[in-house]
Structure formats: structure tokens, C-alpha cells
Amino acid sequence: MVYEHLWGESELKRPLRIGLIAEGKTELGFSVAPPIIAQDGGHPIPSEQEGALHTLIRRELVEAGFPNCQFVQRHPSTKEWKNREFRTGHTILDRKYVAQAVIAWKSHEIDMVVICADSDDQVDGRSASLQGAMMTARANHLDIHEKPIPDRSAGGLAIKNFETWLLADNQAVVALLAVSLPELPANLETLPGDRENEECARFVLDRAIEESAYRLEDTKREFRIRWELAGVVELAQIKAHCQQGYVVFADALQAAAGAVIASQQDS
């Protein structure tokens, strides 16, 4: 569905503001790299600090007809500020943490909340954790009257990990890295989630990056390459090969963005 009919020309001038909570540098690039600066909380993340997941979300929404988006930095918790880095890993789904992170964003800072995590080999358990995190996010995403906003949030579960989405377009990976890939199943979500397993999508992509001479001089090239891959992979290929995780995520993104636009029409 294309949503261009939902807003007028004036509303196209302001990007959607998204508060994104995800697992770490693989998805979020340098926006979560230490040391964090507390004053950045609530401000748009500079484009050069964005990661691969930012790019996929932006492309998914723009291709669906929504305006461009900005990603808004989290406000660090007291513990994160003390440790000088944001929480990473699947513990971002902890409901107490989600509540703290979401309620710290002021109503004028974000339009919608997005939470994305890897399932690893615990699809059912991680799915339940994501559902709980989303319930918490919706209860703590407040409008200017401090009332919960229940429909402007989206959750995503990468099955089994985020790299399955980037590997879905084999030709894009081969073209960018100039390497060969092992034969992969049509349903990438059947790959193992254990990152130590050579058939795991993360292992496959890490090995391809190691074998490639692309940007060899860049010590952080594993994050930069993922960011560039996210800009060239065909979204249709991700949807074809990652149907349980990515398709559901894309639909949730569009529904939440549609609710934001509809609210702007009503105001």
C-alpha cells in the first residue's frame, strides 16, 4: 500500500522522527559507539553515525510512500552514562529498560517508537519478550497530555539474526564485496542462530567481509559494509527469503507510520 494520499504538501517537509531501540553496532553503527554524550539524547542522529538498520527502515518507509525519517538518539540511563555506552544485546527487551528508554523521550522529540531484536535460536521465547517490550513501549509513549499512544510503535524480530536480512540479496553481497558465498537455503530463517556455527548468517557475512579487500584500510569496515549493504539490497529479496521476520516488521513499520500521518491530519 502507498500512503502518499494521507498527507498534504506541507507535511512532506518534516521527516518522521523515530526512536529506535535495537541490539547494537551491527544494526545501529556508530550511533551507539562509546563514549556516549548525554546531551545528544533526544536529538537527530547524524547520518554519518547511522547503521544498517536505520537505512533499511528508511528505505522501507520511503518506498511505501512515507516521507523521509530522522532517527532520534536515546537518552542514556544513569547506568549507561556511567558506563559511557548504551545497552546492547537482547537485554534491550527488558521491560524495565524499555520503559525507561521510551518515557525519557519527550513527546516533541519522536513520532514513533521502533524496537528490533535478534531471535537467535530462541524464536518463541524472544518473540514473547518482544511482545512484552512492545506492550511496555506503548504504555510509556506519551503525547503532550501525558496519555499513552498505543498505535505509533513497531516491533521487529530478525530470524535468526539481522544478517539474514542483509544476505537475502546474494547478488548485492557478491557485487559489493567481490567474494563468493556458500549455497544458502531459499528460507534464510532456517539457518542456525548460533553465531559460532559456520552456517549461521552472521558467521557467513563476517567471513565474507574478512575475505574481501573492500575498504581494507577501515578498521571499522564490518559496520560500514553492513551500512552500505543495507543501502543496496533489494527489499523484495528480503521479504522473499525472510518472510516470518522481515515481512511482519515491514508491515508494522508501515502501520505505525500511517498512524503518525493520520494523527497529523486530525490535529
pLDDT of 82 reads: 87
Residues 6+ apart with CB under 8 A from 119: 126, 127, 157, 158, 159, 160, 161, 193, 245
Strands (E), the chain: 16-21, 69-72, 112-118, 153-158
N-to-C CA span, the chain: 23
Q: Is the pLDDT of residue 12 over 60?
A: no
pLDDT of 10 reads: 36
pLDDT of 215 reads: 63
pLDDT of 149 reads: 93
Residue 117 near residue 23 (C-beta atoms within 8 A): yes
Q: Is the pLDDT of residue 2 over 90?
A: no
From 172, 150, 159, 175, select the one nearest 234 (Cα to Cα). 172
pLDDT of 6 reads: 44
Cell 499512544 identifies what position?
149
pLDDT of 263 reads: 84
Q: List helix spans (H) across 147-247.
A: 163-167, 170-177, 201-211, 221-232, 235-241
Q: Is the pLDDT of residue 40 over 90?
A: yes
Mean residue pLDDT of the chain comes to: 90
**Averaged over 79-98, what is the pLDDT?**
92
Tens digits of residue pLDDT in 172-217: 999 999 999 999 999 999 999 998 899 999 999 999 998 988 765 5
Q: Is the pLDDT of residue 144 over 70?
A: yes
